Amino acid sequence: MIGVAVTLLVSASKDMSSYATFSQAMQSSSAVKVVGTLSKDKEMYYNPAEDPNYFSFYIQDMDGEVKKVVLHEAKPQDFELSEQIVVTGKMRDDTFMASSLLMKCPSKYKDEEISVRSDISI
């Protein structure tokens, strides 16, 4: 019984990935996870009229390297606000082809401001 449990746990932990950089992704033939931040000065492209399943943007990985990322989905809501982005996928030529994307956003409801009633001017 314990043996089975250990085996299951060990094989489960093989699923755990660690974060890679773009240069590591370049060498890997399987899917990797790259963590980075959105390069806000570079182009973010989503034109649903042309293709509703094509969204491209640039992220800077932990080593500071900036690469283009292509995601074949609609542009996620509040993408510009993301603090950190994790993309899963493979490098193809010089572009990272992402199969999924996770982003960490600051909560919209945490900001410590006091909203003043709109009918009052101070």
Partner 1 sequence: MGEIEYIGEHLFPGQIGQFLIVLAFSSALFSAISYFFAVKNQDHPLEAATWRKMGQGGFILLAVSSFVIIGTLFYIMVQKYYEYEYVWSHVSDQLPFRYLFSAFWEGQQGSFLLWIFWHSVLGLILMRVSGRWEPSTMATLALVQAFLFSMILGLHITPDFKLGATPFSLLRESEGMTQLPIFNNANYLSMIEGKGLNPLLQNYWMTIHPPTLFLGFASVTIPFCYAVAGLWEGKYQEWLKPVLPWALFSGAILGTGIVMGGAWAYEALSFGGYWAWDPVENASLVPWLILIAGIHTNMVAKSTKHGIKATYTFYALSFFFILYSTFLTRSGILGDSSVHAFTEMGLEWQLVIFMASFGVLSLIQYFSKGRHIPVPEKEESFTSREFWMFIGSLVLLFSSGLITFTTSLPVLNKLMTFYGDLVGQDVSDWHMATPEDPIAHYNRFQLWIAVLIGILSGFTQFLIYKEKRWDQHKRKFWRNMLVCVSISVAVSFLTNLWMKAEGFAYLLLLFTTVFAVVSNLMYLGSVLKMKVKSAASVISHVGFGLMILGVMSSGINKTFISNNSFAMRGIFSPEDERIQKNVYLIKGEPLPMGGYMATYLSDTMIDNNRHYRIQFDKLDEDKKAIVETFQLEPYITYNKELTEMVNPNPSTRRYLHKDIFSHITAAPPKHISVEAAREEDDSLNYQSYSLSLGDTLQVEDLFFSLEELILQPTHPEYKPDDDDLAYGARLAGWDSTGRRYHTNPVLAIKEQRYIFSFYDDIPELGVRIRLTEEGLNKLYPLEQTLSYESYHQKLGDRFTVGDHKVTISGFDRNPEHRNYQPEDGDIAVAVILDIVSPSGEPFQVRPIFLIRENRTYMIKDYQPTLGLSSKFASIDPATETLELLFAQNDMEEVLFPVEIATDAPRDDFIVLEAIVFPGINFFWLGCVLMMGGMLLGMLRRMNWI
Q: Which residues bind partner 1 (CB under 8 A)?
A: 1, 4-5, 8-9, 12-13, 15-19, 31, 33, 46, 48-49, 52-53, 72-75, 77, 84, 88-89, 97-100, 102, 104, 107-110, 112, 114-117, 120, 122
Kind plus residue range of the DSSP H or E element containing 26: helix 22-27
- Residue 85 CB, nearest distance to partner 1 (Å)? 11
Specify the residue, 63 or 102, whose C-beta has the smaller distance to partner 1.
Answer: 102
**Angle ∠(12,31,67) on CA atoms, nearest 5:** 140
Q: For residues 85 and 101, is the Cβ–Cβ distance under 8 A?
A: yes
Q: For residues 5 and 13, is the Cβ–Cβ distance under 8 A?
A: no
- Residue 103 CB, nearest distance to partner 1 (Å)? 9
